[in-house]
């Protein structure tokens, strides 16, 4: 099983820490369905270099491409098919462009694999594997445990990644989700007891939930948090502005150990929200959501998208200024990118605004469409300027001053500064295969300054 690296994760200058942050679980989840006597190896190119020439030829190769790893995925697949290996391929990119992927694979999978993968394995063993499997049955009931023994834990800063749901209840038109889950439920969860059992398998204190929206099903989330309360766990996850503003849900999460939340604010221009079907943000008070998180002792990793049709050249400075004023600890910026099969792609294609289909550049750092409110050069330059400005020491200090107390100010400086200002040190740790040694520092930052504090 090989997870090819995203092009943006393999810079020869430095390897960004976020690509060595946590082990992706897709392939390790599929490995759980294999027989006990099957020999399986899992390789993640984000944290280890894979020389395909030196690898033995397996009976079966499974490759999981994303859009900016498609070229590398096809290169790997073609190499092993030339050796006579049966190559299976699935995931987001395969689902969005199945005909393209099918030219490089013997078998492709569209949508989630929990229902189709076991069927394929049976047919493969019987010597009659299908060419294409399309997911229709959506359930996580009876799913075997993730094969965590295949994960090289020492290569990741946060080895305890976990997923307890699939999909998202919302339908933003720039997101892959609707196409990936077409033909069945687009948001569903594990049984709470199964999720808690998976959490119990993980050593140490820290967890990183990779779910698109951990708070998306309130009933499930409340039961999960109640089951985690008192266990001493510290964890990070993703949620929406709407979920943060719901009464009592955030408090339950904090009592269960939530210390940092990824929140998709996306844009400071409200006109963009309706156009891109970001309905869960419409009419919501962003500043109130940030205050609520900070008052609960939760750090904010804010996501913003530039280049939406109502954005002008002023959007970069306005966004950075707002984020710094709110005391947001870390921000992730993106250039609007129309992914194949999404609603945004279909609109852009109909309008003749797709510039090219070089998937290597669909990394949200390059302009691949014709913007409306500015030139492509303005958009790309503004994107990079936003990163530089937000992470200037002067703005990190100013952001810390917006925090509600001394504990939070110290945490802000430690986290925001450590994330972006020490990339050469992160690079050295990644290349030396010792990045996990920074885990205790992360835990101390989350533990010492997190949680609800009493302020005078």
Delineate the domains of the chain, giving CATH numbers in brackets. Answer: 2-134 (3.40.50.280), 157-449 (3.20.20.70)
Flag whether pLDDT at 405 surpasses 90: no
User: What pLDDT does residue 407 have?
Assistant: 79
The predicted pLDDT at position 20 comes to 77
Burial of 205 by CB count in 10 Å (0-12 exposed, 13-18 middle, 19+ buried)? middle
Q: State percent of the chain over pLDDT 70.
A: 91
- How does residue 179 score in pLDDT terms, banded at 50, 70 and 90? confident
Give me the chain's average pLDDT, please: 89
**What's the pLDDT at 436?**
77
Average pLDDT over every residue of 78-107: 97
Whether pLDDT at 247 is above 60: yes
On whether the CB atoms of residues 20 and 49 are closer than 8 A, the answer is no
Q: Could you tell me the two tokens for 74?
A: 């096809």
Distances (CA, A) of 84 to 71, 106, 131: 20, 10, 16
What is the C-alpha separation between 217 and 226, in angstroms, rounded?
14
Which tokens hold the place of 278?
Answer: 């970001």
Q: Tens of pLDDT along 320-367? A: 999 999 999 999 999 999 999 998 999 999 999 999 999 999 999 999
Please indicate whether residue 387 or residue 178 has the higher confidence score (pLDDT). 387
CA–CA separation, 171 and 212 (whole Å): 12
pLDDT bucket at 450, cuts 50 / 70 / 90: low
> Concatenated DSSP letters for 15-76?
--GGGGSS---HHHHHHTTS-TT-----EETTTS---GGGS---SEEEE---GGGHHHHHHH
CA pseudo-torsion sign 444, 445, 448, 452 = negative
Residue 273's pLDDT is what? 53
pLDDT for res 228: 97
Residue 449 has pLDDT above 80, yes or no: no
| Residue given tokens 């530089």 in the structure block | 388
| pLDDT (tens digit per residue) in 197-234 | 999 999 989 999 999 999 999 999 999 999 999 999 99
The arithmetic mean of pLDDT across residues 25-34, rounded, is: 96
Residues forming beta bridges with residue 111, ordered by sequence position: none
């Amino acid at each position: 099983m090989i997870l090819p690296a995203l092009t943006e994760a393999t810079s020869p200058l430095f390897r960004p820490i976020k690509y060595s942050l946590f082990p992706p679980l897709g392939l390790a989840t599929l490995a759980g369905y294999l027989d006990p006597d099957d020999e399986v190896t899992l390789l993640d190119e984000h944290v280890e270099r894979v020389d395909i020439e030196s690898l033995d030829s397996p009976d079966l190769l499974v490759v999981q491409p994303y859009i900016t790893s498609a070229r590398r995925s096809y290169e790997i697949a073609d190499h092993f098919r030339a050796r006579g290996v049966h190559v299976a391929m699935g995931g987001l990119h395969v689902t969005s462009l199945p005909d393209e992927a099918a030219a490089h694979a013997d078998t492709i999978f569209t949508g989630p694999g929990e229902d189709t993968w076991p069927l394929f394995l049976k047919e493969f063993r019987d010597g009659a594997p299908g060419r294409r499997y399309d997911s229709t049955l959506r359930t996580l009931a009876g799913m075997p445990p993730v094969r965590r023994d295949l994960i090289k834990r020492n290569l990741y800063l946060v080895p305890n990644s976990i997923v307890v749901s699939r999909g998202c209840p919302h339908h933003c038109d720039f997101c892959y989700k609707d196409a990936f889950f077409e033909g069945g439920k687009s948001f569903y969860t594990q049984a709470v007891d199964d999720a808690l059992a998976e959490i119990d398998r993980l050593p140490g204190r820290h967890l990183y939930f990779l779910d698109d929206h951990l708070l998306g099903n309130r009933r499930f989330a409340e039961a999960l948090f109640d089951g985690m309360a008192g266990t001493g766990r510290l964890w990070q996850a993703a949620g929406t502005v709407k979920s943060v503003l719901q009464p009592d849900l955030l408090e339950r999460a904090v009592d269960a150990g939530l210390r940092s939340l990824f929140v998709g604010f996306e844009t400071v221009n409200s006109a963009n929200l309706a156009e891109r079907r970001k309905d869960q943000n419409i009419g919501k008070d962003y500043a109130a959501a940030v205050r609520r998180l900070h008052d609960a002792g939760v750090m904010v990793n804010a996501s913003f998208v530039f280049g939406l049709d109502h954005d002008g050249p002023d959007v970069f400075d306005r966004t950075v200024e707002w984020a710094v004023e709110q005391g947001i600890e870390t921000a992730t910026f993106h250039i609007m990118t129309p992914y194949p099969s999404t609603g945004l792609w279909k609109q852009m294609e109909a309008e003749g605004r797709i510039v090219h289909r070089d998937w290597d550049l669909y990394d949200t750092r390059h302009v691949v469409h014709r913007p409306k409110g500015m030139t492509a050069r303005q958009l790309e330059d503004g994107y990079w300027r936003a990163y530089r400005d937000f992470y200037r020491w002067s703005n990190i200090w100013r952001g810390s001053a917006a925090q509600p107390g001394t504990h939070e100010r110290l945490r802000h400086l430690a986290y925001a500064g450590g994330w972006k200002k020490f990339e050469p040190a992160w690079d050295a740790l990644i290349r030396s295969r010792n990045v996990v040694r920074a885990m205790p520092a992360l835990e101390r930052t989350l533990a010492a300054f997190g949680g609800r504090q009493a302020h005078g």
